[in-house]
Amino acid sequence: MKSICIKSVSEEKIEFLIQQFELLPINICMSNYRFKTYDNLIIHYLEEEYIDEFYEIVALILKKCIEKFYENDLIRKNVEKNYFYLSSIERNYIFEITKKVLELPDEKIGYKNDILKTAIKEYLLENKKIVLEGFVNFRIKEYKELLEKIVEVSVFSYLDLITF
């Protein structure tokens, strides 16, 4: 049996994860407890085989969670920090262009999904618990750098549009 503990300060994120895990046709047992400041989702994988596939599935679900709850904030912070000299309307346009670019197939935007999923899976193979907020803040540098490049491309696209 393998177990993973996912910690978050947000009940909403834990609820999202529970819903995602409940959809899986694999043999897992879940428990959800609150200890001090964290909601803890503990997932027990009850099989002895297909351990790698289990970690792959957990990484995919956590990737979805990060994209759903953190990606927009990461993009907005990047736009605000690096392009503060543009008007708020222009920064909003850049944000929207960036979101559209992120809808492109992965091979066109630098394998964003693989970068994030791999970072999560590698972390989980070494650790039995993951604190979502800490992981997003400190463990996905390559993913954040790719988002920064995508924002930069969006800025150039926006500038091309307004000078056309």
What is residue 161's predicted lDDT score, i.e. its pLDDT? 78
**Phi, psi for 104 (deg, rounded to 5):** -70, 160
Q: Average pLDDT of 2-16?
A: 97
Give residue-wise pLDDT tens across range 32-77: 999 889 999 999 999 989 999 999 999 999 999 999 999 999 999 9
In single-letter form, the type of residue at position 157 comes to: S
What is the DSSP annotation of 51-103? HHHHHHHHHHHHHHHHHHHTHHHHHHHHHHHH-TTS-HHHHHHHHHHHHHHHT
Determine the 3-state secondary structure of 42 from DSSP: strand
Which residues are CB-neighbours of 11 under 8 A, at least 6 positions away? 39
The domain locations on the chain are 2-163
pLDDT at 107 over 90: no
Residues 6+ apart with CB under 8 A from 78: 144, 147, 148, 151
Instruction: Give the angle 70-76-79 at the CA atoms, nearest 5°.
Output: 140
- 163: confidence class by pLDDT, cuts 50, 70, 90: confident
pTM of model > 0.85: yes
Per-residue pLDDT, 164: 62
> What mean pLDDT do residues 127-135 have?
97
Tokens of 40: 């803890």
| pLDDT at residue number 106 | 82
What confidence score (pLDDT) does residue 96 get? 96
